[in-house]
Structure 1
Amino acid sequence: VRQRLKEWYQDSKGKKGEKRRELDVSQCFAPLLKWILSLWKSEDKCLALAIDATNIGQNFTVLSLHVLYQGCGIPVAWKIVKGTEKGSWKPHWLHIFHYVKDVVPNYWQVIVLADRGLYADWLFETICSLNWHPFLRINHQGHYQLRCDPEWRCLDTVAPKTGTQWSGYVTCFKNHSLECTLLARWDEGYKEPWLIVTDLEPTQAQSFWYGLRSWIESSYRDIKSDGWQWHKTRLREPDRAERIWLAMAIATLWAVTLGSEKQQHLSKQFNDKTKPNSRINSKSASRRKERNISCFLQGLINIIADLICGKGISLNGLFPRQSFSLNTS
């Protein structure tokens, strides 16, 4: 099995025999996203995506796009470069978006979240061109201008203290100006506010949706130390690493799907046991809580148990809880 995996991720020139080919991972991005959408068991066609970068020491930098799902993230497109490689990331992000641009039907509501280190006006425009909605955090340095108001104001005055929030149409930045909706929110326990730019109407968007972005960080942990242990890789060639990421992406989809299905089953059992006509009295029922573990970890436990019992692979569906919904009223 190990030799077969090596034959699969190597370049064609590194394989034995004649007429050997190598896998172009980019061609798998659209089918992988279509596969996830086909498993989506929800009447609400809302999809949250996130982009970010992660490093493996000085060896690799991975730029990736993930579907966000119940505290987890499923990689659907990525580009891996050497960690010491210089140059702009713009061509790589455009490459990623190019291969998934026609996959999601137009009637789906899609938001794309990114941290402030990735903000760029071209990124905002690229996401809009896909009929998706950017949800990009920005730094609080700089200025903004209200519609029909010539005065430029400092961005750090939008939400000046904890417990405040605001939204409205603005022109952001004096240089490379952006016409957008600005969302600001400063919650207790945070050192500074969230400042988010989007193309959505102020009445459609909610600033707390940005909290979904942390799920991609959970996804990186699942790929590394909490799951597939990729931080221990000895690979040094980005092309080979990209093929290994395809295997891990499908394995993550498998684990999250099984974990989601198991949690649905456990949740139904819990609800049945705590109905009013159950023998459990209301006081004890109110004290009981479901144990919260991630879909990924739950799925990983199920996979190990199934392999021990000799069961086959099954992918029955994804059951998203409503994470956001655009208010179109």
Structure 2
Amino acid sequence: MSPEIVYQWMEQIARYVPGLGKWQVKGLALFSLGVIWAEHSALTKVAEKLGRFGGPDSLERRFQRWLSNPRLDLMLCLKGWVRWVTSAYDHSRVVLLVDETKLGAHLSVMMVGLAYQQRCIPLVWRCYRTHDGQVQLIGEMLAFIAAVGVFAYPPLVQADRGIGTSPALCQAVADLGWRYLFRVQNHTQVLTRQGQYVPLWRLVHRPGQQWFGHGVVFKKRGRLRAYVHVLWAPGQAEPWCLVANDPLTLGEHYTLRVWQEEGFRDLKSGGWQWQRSRVWQPDHAERLILVLALAYAWTLTYGTLALHSPDLLRRVTRGARKRFSIFRCGLRLLTGCLARHEPVWPGLFFAPAKRLW
């Protein structure tokens, strides 16, 4: 990996991520490139792969100082990061996925990401050991994205039932002028035209059935008027019970939510080995995720280039058929360019399939 690549990446980071000094920009550029090169998040592993830029112990201490630097304003960085990613996203339909992931018993992370090509690009995140006010936290994160993101049309927000069974969160999304499609607990009740509350799971009886209507939901937690879609897909053990504020948002669209699980897998065991980073201090971990997010987004950019070019695709897989995820294709292409000291394009570009639904 040549110094020229580091300098080019530094220029991009300095341009789009505000609030960083020269050495902080260089540290972020080296750190994120090292994560790609090492396919690991542990500081020792990353430092050992960057021998051209210093000794392993020296680089490890440098990365430790970067993660622990209280003068690094993460929220200012995230303003630039959200603008960068959303402006590089070439599609009018935007789906934001909300979910929590855990690093064993050490840390919990709430993340909002951009759904993209069966993956999810981290936009905003918070790390904590215990947190009771999830709805308020998510509402603040979404409001932050709304204030700085570049969107041609109102995004659609999706969340699973552990998060989505909340009239307060539904209202918070609606107050932003956005749409939501949340899975809720099966025992959530809807008020029928007959004036009776019925648990959603009783509206379908077997796989292959579905029910769609409009009514009042969340009897005990605060009444809310919403569209309800109960969908029991063949082969599934139970139905999806979904609520939305847009009648055109159907249950089939909820399949995009699993993309965040694939994204978490890429950040963890399938890619950056985040779970082995041993960075458990919440503020340090939040800065580390910025490093991982940059590395991930650049890798997905190269996956995009590979999937849109038959010549590039043949460099990373046999034949013209897609055999790997966009992340794996991008990782193969980008690390191959770095290994051969070939010129690289130090930018972000996301071109989803022509239709999300």
Specify if TM > 0.5. Answer: yes
Other-structure match for 1:218: 262
List runs of 5+ in structure 1 lacking aligned partners.
13-21, 271-287
1:309 aligns with 2:340: yes
Other-structure match for 1:41: 90
1:188 aligns with 2:237: no
Question: Do the aligned partners of 1:267 and 1:290 also contact (CA within 8 Å) in 2?
Answer: no
Other-structure match for 1:9: 67
1:261 aligns with 2:305: yes
Q: Partner of 2:148: helix, strand, or coil?
A: coil
1:142 Cα deviation after fit: 3.3
| Change in CA separation of 1:28 and 1:247 when aligned onto 2, cut-off 3 Å | same
Q: Which range moves more in the overlay, 230-239 or 307-316?
A: 307-316
AA at the equivalent of 2:321: E
| Separation (CA, whole Å) in 2 of partners of 1:231 and 1:214 | 20
| Separation (CA, whole Å) in 2 of partners of 1:231 and 1:207 | 32
AA at the equivalent of 1:23: L
| Change in CA separation of 1:258 and 1:106 when aligned onto 2, cut-off 3 Å | closer
AA at the equivalent of 2:66: W
| Separation (CA, whole Å) in 2 of partners of 1:106 and 1:224 | 29
| Change in CA separation of 1:315 and 1:106 when aligned onto 2, cut-off 3 Å | closer
Kindly tell me the number of residue pairs found equivalent between the two proteins. Answer: 292
| Change in CA separation of 1:312 and 1:268 when aligned onto 2, cut-off 3 Å | closer
| Separation (CA, whole Å) in 1 of partners of 2:198 and 2:191 | 6
| TM-score scaled by length of structure 1 | 0.83
AA at the equivalent of 1:87: D
1:318 aligns with 2:350: yes
Other-structure match for 1:92: 137
1:28 Cα deviation after fit: 2.5
| Change in CA separation of 1:95 and 1:41 when aligned onto 2, cut-off 3 Å | closer
Other-structure match for 2:12: none
| Change in CA separation of 1:106 and 1:47 when aligned onto 2, cut-off 3 Å | closer
The one of 213, 221, 224 aligned to 1:168: 213
Q: Partner of 1:46: helix, strand, or coil?
A: coil
The one of 263, 286, 294 aligned to 2:325: 294
1:234 Cα deviation after fit: 1.5
Question: Do the aligned partners of 2:94 and 2:151 also contact (CA within 8 Å) in 1?
Answer: no
Q: Give the alignment of 1:51-90 within 5 angstroms.
A: 51-82=98-129, 85=130, 87-90=132-135
- Provide the identity percentage: 25
| Change in CA separation of 1:289 and 1:140 when aligned onto 2, cut-off 3 Å | farther
AA at the equivalent of 1:30: K
1:24 aligns with 2:73: yes
The one of 198, 202, 217 aligned to 1:153: 198
1:252 Cα deviation after fit: 0.8
AA at the equivalent of 2:270: D
| Separation (CA, whole Å) in 1 of partners of 2:326 and 2:81 | 19
| Separation (CA, whole Å) in 2 of partners of 1:123 and 1:312 | 42
| Separation (CA, whole Å) in 2 of partners of 1:269 and 1:96 | 36
Partner deviation per Cα, 1:263-300 (whole Å, 9 max, x = no partner):
11129989xxxxxxxxxxxxxxxxx9713311111111
1:40 Cα deviation after fit: 2.1
| Change in CA separation of 1:237 and 1:266 when aligned onto 2, cut-off 3 Å | same
Question: Do the aligned partners of 2:112 and 2:122 also contact (CA within 8 Å) in 1?
Answer: yes
| Change in CA separation of 1:33 and 1:267 when aligned onto 2, cut-off 3 Å | farther
| Separation (CA, whole Å) in 1 of partners of 2:209 and 2:151 | 35
Other-structure match for 1:273: none
Greater fraction of residues in helix: 2
AA at the equivalent of 1:155: L
Question: Do the aligned partners of 1:257 and 1:317 also contact (CA within 8 Å) in 2?
Answer: yes
| Change in CA separation of 1:220 and 1:167 when aligned onto 2, cut-off 3 Å | same
| Separation (CA, whole Å) in 2 of partners of 1:106 and 1:315 | 19
| Separation (CA, whole Å) in 2 of partners of 1:53 and 1:164 | 30
Question: Do the aligned partners of 1:53 and 1:61 also contact (CA within 8 Å) in 2?
Answer: yes
| Separation (CA, whole Å) in 2 of partners of 1:86 and 1:247 | 24
| Separation (CA, whole Å) in 2 of partners of 1:269 and 1:292 | 10
AA at the equivalent of 1:56: L
